[in-house]
Amino acid sequence: MRALSCLCLLLGSLLWLPPAPAANPASEEFAVPLQATPTSARAKPRGSERARTIKDDMTGEPALRARTAQGAIAAAIGQRTAGCRMIRFKKGFGWVATGKARYPVTENPVATRRTRQEARFSAFLDARARLAGCLQDLAPEARQHIAEHLKTDDAIRLALINLAANEQERQQQALKILARGFVTYSNEEDVADHAIYVNLVATPKTALRLTRPAAAGIETVALKEGLRQLLAEIEARLIPPVGNRLIVVNATGELALVGYAVNPIGTHPEPAAQEKLCADAAKIATARATEALMGLVTGDDATWIASLDEVSQAEIRGAASGYDDSEPSVRRFAQIRELAMSGIKDAAGLQALREGRLPPEATVKQFVGEDSVAVAVVYTPSVKKPESVPAAQPPAPEPTGGNPPTPVDNR
């Protein structure tokens, strides 16, 4: 038990963000359509508010201002163009990045479905790159203002102390925390133009609650928040064909290991044969997601990646783009992974995965769409919380001299 307590303390000191105090989740700052259920409810939000373009005092650049974050986001997305736009609402601020990718339509329906899936993921990567780029391209004065604003939060201030050695590095790391602390807000398809749009939103609040310090890592203040965001991205097919992710909660030591995959469904005019194609696609996606999960457990991603085609391997490399192994956050998360995995090394479920078996506590989630099946295999090991030790009672005071007190006889 003492070892578990030490593990939680080490995780808290190594993570990108230290344990954050209770705060309103990003969903209270604005609703996230991508996380809405059922899928049919994931339409483009329509803002009834009026938004106007202003010159922002902090950055000196144009920004869309509205009364609420939802209104400002809706105004940015409503422009329906790829790019990155600053938003202002009440006392808050943030950025909306929109990525776009087009897909060709061919006479082969299976090929078209594959290119549509590639476009979804490409649009996500485009939005992510635009968000990082627009923050990095800010003027030095603006970057300093943003870093100073972020440092007013104790959690980010302490994170910057751990990740940077001087003021210039602190500014760089502050912008990276913000750029990687985004919520995948929504995705849309323009069927007539054969184009996919993906919208990301980053604010200081979203960065505090969920951030991505490494390509295959998510740090969050609540396990359900990290899982909800990741599963929404998997269901929306904003993922490479196969992958895995480690989700960690710094305050508790909780973690979830996720393997995921998406596989296209073939087409057949006979209903029975079509059902068989759908079932086969689900089996393939489940097998690949399981292999990716096992790779996460063993630390051997090379084996399952080598079995994929070149296009799939290129998309997996694209998922890791923007991250450098020499980055402070990447190095730190590598330590986190080692500590977290060592803390559950004797778990029966982990042993089963090492042996190539799914443990009973693993859950398989399937998202069947019109043209593909996405699968997430989630393993959440049990992490015992450290038992609290009762405070020791102070010893009775020693007599300081004089005659001892006379006993009282209550008879």
pLDDT in tens, 7-53: 444 444 444 444 443 344 554 689 999 998 654 445 455 545 789 99
How far apart, in whole angstroms, are the C-alpha atoms of residue 343 and residue 383? Answer: 8
Q: What mean pLDDT do residues 175-202 have? A: 95
What residue has token string 């070892």?
Answer: 3
Q: Is residue 332 within 8 Å of 213, Cβ to Cβ?
A: yes
Q: Write down the H helix ranges in 252-309.
A: 271-298, 302-306
How far apart, in whole angstroms, are the C-alpha atoms of residue 223 and residue 164? Answer: 27
Provide the 3-class DSSP secondary structure of residue 281.
Answer: helix
pLDDT at 161: 83
Residues written for the chain: 411
For the ranges 205-209, 222-226, 260-264, which has the lowest average pLDDT? 205-209
pLDDT averaged over every residue in the chain: 85
CA 260, 266, 267, 272 torsion-angle sign: negative
Q: Is residue 383 within 8 Å of 343, Cβ to Cβ?
A: yes
pLDDT at 46: 53
pLDDT at 146: 85
The pLDDT of residue 166 is above 90: no
Please, which residues bridge with residue 220 across strands?
Answer: 210, 249
Residue 4, classified by CB atoms within 10 Å of its CB into exposed (0-12), middle (13-18) or buried (19+), is middle
Q: What mean pLDDT do residues 311-315 have? A: 93
- The domain of 163 spans 2-379
Residue type, 361: E
pLDDT at 125: 97
pLDDT at 223: 95
pLDDT at 370: 87
**Does any domain span residue 122?**
yes
DSSP letters along 324-374, please? -TTSHHHHHHHHHHHHHHHHTTT-HHHHHHHTT---TT-EEEEEE-SSEEE
Q: What mean pLDDT do residues 192-198 have? A: 96
pLDDT at 231: 97
How far apart, in whole angstroms, are the C-alpha atoms of residue 246 and residue 288? Answer: 17
Among the listed residues 231, 279, 281, the one whose alpha carbon sits nearest the alpha carbon of residue 259: 231
The 8-class DSSP code of residue 16 comes to S
Q: Using 50, 70 and 90 to split pLDDT, how confident is the model at 63?
A: very high
Q: What mean pLDDT do residues 307-316 have? A: 92
How far apart, in whole angstroms, are the C-alpha atoms of residue 384 and residue 375? Answer: 28
**Does any domain span residue 81?**
yes
pLDDT in tens, 132-157: 999 999 988 888 888 888 888 887 88
pLDDT in tens, 356-410: 999 999 999 999 998 999 999 999 998 765 444 344 444 445 444 444 443 434 4
The pLDDT of residue 281 is above 90: yes
- Specify the pTM: 0.85
**Does any domain span residue 395?**
no
Structure tokens at 155: 């959690």
pLDDT at 163: 86
The pLDDT of residue 191 is above 50: yes
How far apart, in whole angstroms, are the C-alpha atoms of residue 279 and residue 346? Answer: 35
pLDDT at 229: 96
List Cβ neighbours of 402 (8 Å cut-off, separation of 6 or more).
none
Q: Report residue 54: phi and psi, to 5°.
A: -125, 170
Residue 12 neighbours by CB distance under 10 Å: 15
**Does any domain span residue 396?**
no
How far apart, in whole angstroms, are the C-alpha atoms of residue 244 and residue 316? Answer: 10
pLDDT at 264: 92
List Cβ neighbours of 163 (8 Å cut-off, separation of 6 or more).
16, 169, 170, 173, 328, 329, 332
**Does any domain span residue 231?**
yes
Q: What mean pLDDT do residues 87-107 have? A: 94
**Does any domain span residue 268?**
yes
- Select the more confidently predicted residue: 168 or 241: 241
**Between the CA of residue 361 and those of 256, 350, 380, 382, what are the distances in Å?**
12, 11, 8, 10
**Does any domain span residue 401?**
no
How far apart, in whole angstroms, are the C-alpha atoms of residue 151 and residue 322? Answer: 24
Among the listed residues 382, 348, 293, 384, the one whose alpha carbon sits nearest the alpha carbon of residue 7: 384
In total, how many domains does the chain have?
A: 1
Please, which residues bridge with residue 196 across strands?
Answer: 101, 189
Of all residues in the chain, the percent with pLDDT exceeding 70 is: 83
Q: Is residue 379 within 8 Å of 347, Cβ to Cβ?
A: no
**Between the CA of residue 401 and those of 110, 242, 405, 407, 408, what are the distances in Å?**
95, 78, 11, 17, 20
Q: Report residue 69: phi and psi, to 5°.
A: -60, -40
Q: Report residue 186: phi and psi, to 5°.
A: -165, 165
**Does any domain span residue 394?**
no
